Amino acid sequence: MKKETTKMIIRISVKVILCVILLFTFQQVVHAGSFESTKLVTGTKSLAEAIISWLTGIGITICGGYFIYYVYCLKTNDEGERRRNIQNIKTTLISMVLITCGLALIDVILGFYK
C-alpha cells in the first residue's frame, strides 16, 4: 500500500508541475497594448502584486509546512491516524495546487498591464 500511495503522490506532483508550467507559459505568450497610467490601472496592478506576495509568502509556506508535518507523522501513527494523515496530505496538495494556479492566473492578468 505504501508504493501505491507514493505513486499517487508522485503522479499528483507531476500533474501540478505541468499545470504550473502551462499557466506560466501563458504569461510569456499573452501581451497586450500599453494602457494609460491611470490610478485605476496602477492601483489594480499594485493590488495584484500584493496578493501575489501574500499568497507566495504565507499560503505556500503554510501548506508546505503542513505537508512536511503530515508526511513525517505517517511514520509514527497507527493505521487509523495514517488514513487521516493521507487525507490531510491530499487536502494540502490540493490547496497548494489551487494557490499556485491562482498565482499563475494573477501573473497572467498582470501580463496585460505590462
pLDDT tens string 1-58: 566 777 777 778 777 777 767 666 655 554 444 455 666 677 777 777 787 788 777 8
**Domain boundary assignment for the chain:** 2-33+40-111
Which residues, 6 or more positions from 30, have their beta carbon under 8 angstroms from its beta carbon? 108, 111, 112
**Which of 32, 19, 18, 11 has its CA nearest to residue 105?**
19
- The CA-based angle 6-9-12, given to 5 degrees, is 150
pLDDT tens string 69-103: 888 888 887 777 888 888 888 888 888 888 888 88
Which residues, 6 or more positions from 19, have their beta carbon under 8 angstroms from its beta carbon? 97, 100, 101
pLDDT value, residue 2:
67
pLDDT value, residue 60:
78
pLDDT value, residue 26:
59
Question: Alpha carbon of 2 to those of 55, 57, 74, 83: distances in Å?
Answer: 32, 32, 10, 12
Q: Which residue has the cell 497586450?
A: 32
